[in-house]
Structure 1
């Protein structure tokens, strides 16, 4: 099964959330892999390596790395611009093939996007278009801070308008400066966005604490048992 991890913005904690989800799926006994379809602002698979470190996974051998990190561009920008500056272009059909090949080898494939839903991958296509092509469930990462209600609900509505199933919300407490705003904002998001499953993600340092990993396991167990997901998975 392929899942996509997107966020309401760049720098929102998608990499940490992806690693946490990978750890949770592993504790459920799933054979799991993560993928970073397009890495920008680096000359090596920076985010993918962080997934491996945090989740306690082995580094990918070169033949697997071709699938888990298909494109890497040095300029820290949206994939379309970063690719264009190197006289290249991202092929989303190639990205789709890489994800599907990983799905043949693993029970769960977690794809981490770059930025938010409307970040351009090519001149014509955004990450939302890529998710629509895959038609896979999405985990949305949101920041516990002032303004998050608007940003999160806009992302939720954009996904729903495309008929994309939202598996759950990862609510990142790293940005929290006021407990009341963080708590009440989340309640508004759950109510107005009709979100059933939420995983609270505190600040993560060099590794994922065992208690947090167990919370991720419970969260994912509930996601997989939810009627909406079961109906989607049976199609």
Structure 2
């Protein structure tokens, strides 16, 4: 089983959301691993993979050192297509597919984090959203409470709908909250919009993805994960 995680923008909380989802899968009694499709802005083991392991409560794994959990790591902090080009490399979707397939053979669930926002180009010809749609992975979309999120979220949902990409849940990340009135209205609007366009798709609020989630939020995450799992 593969669960994809993407967001309405870069720096929106995808990495923390991925770690939280992996933890929820663990709590549901399933073996789980996280994958980062492409990491930019670092060298060696992908920094987002390191954050996943921290949130999962485990150390770095041998498959992390081997690069299986993140087949592409580029030093330039840019979109994958540009960061790869600077290194004289082109991101090959088949390489990502093989990594995912091998992880899937070892674990019950692979929680796969994308790079940047939903529409980021993986290479000159392929957008992240098209890659996800090609494989029909259930998507957990991370949004936020900051100004502009309604527009970005609706555009992302529309892009998924046009490609028949299933939305498993929308995670509403409040870590970057700047205005309580805007934050409250944004959540209400998104919940209303999803009720009319995608009934049954939950909006799960994450008060702060930088810390351990407990209580009702943890239960909502668990329910969302269970609804996705076979």
TM-score scaled by structure 1?
0.89
Deviation at 1:223, TM superposition (A): 5.0
2:32 maps to 32
Q: Distance in 2 between matches of 1:57 and 1:186?
A: 33
State whether structure 2 residue 195 is matched by structure 1 residue 190.
no
SS of residue matched to 2:67: helix
Q: Distance in 1 between matches of 2:32 and 2:42?
A: 25
Deviations along 1:91-131, one digit per CA (max 9) or x if unpaired, are 01211121122111111111111111211111101101210
Q: Distance in 2 between matches of 1:100 and 1:120?
A: 22
Q: Distance in 1 between matches of 2:222 and 2:193?
A: 22
2:16 maps to 16
1:151 maps to 152
Query: Given that residues 137 and 166 in structure 1 are in contact (C-alpha distance below 8 angstroms), is that contact kept between their aligned partners in structure 2?
Result: yes
Query: Given that residues 23 and 216 in structure 1 are in contact (C-alpha distance below 8 angstroms), is that contact kept between their aligned partners in structure 2?
Result: no
Deviation at 1:220, TM superposition (A): 3.1
Unmatched runs of 5 consecutive residues or more in structure 1: none
Q: Distance in 1 between matches of 2:188 and 2:168?
A: 17
SS of residue matched to 1:99: helix
Unmatched runs of 5 consecutive residues or more in structure 2: none
Distance 1:31 1:217, change over 3 A: farther
Deviations along 1:107-159, one digit per CA (max 9) or x if unpaired, are 11111111112111111011012102221100000011221111101101101
SS of residue matched to 2:42: coil
Q: Say what the alpha-carbon RMSD is for the aligned residues.
A: 1.9
One of 199, 202, 206 as aligned partner of 1:201: 206
Query: Given that residues 197 and 219 in structure 1 are in contact (C-alpha distance below 8 angstroms), is that contact kept between their aligned partners in structure 2?
Result: no
One of 216, 219, 226 as aligned partner of 2:218: 216
Q: Distance in 1 between matches of 2:140 and 2:5?
A: 5
SS of residue matched to 1:67: coil
Segments of 4+ moved more than 4 angstroms: none
Deviation at 1:58, TM superposition (A): 2.7
Q: Which segment is superposed worse, 183-192 or 116-125?
A: 183-192
Q: Which segment is superposed worse, 29-38 or 194-203?
A: 194-203
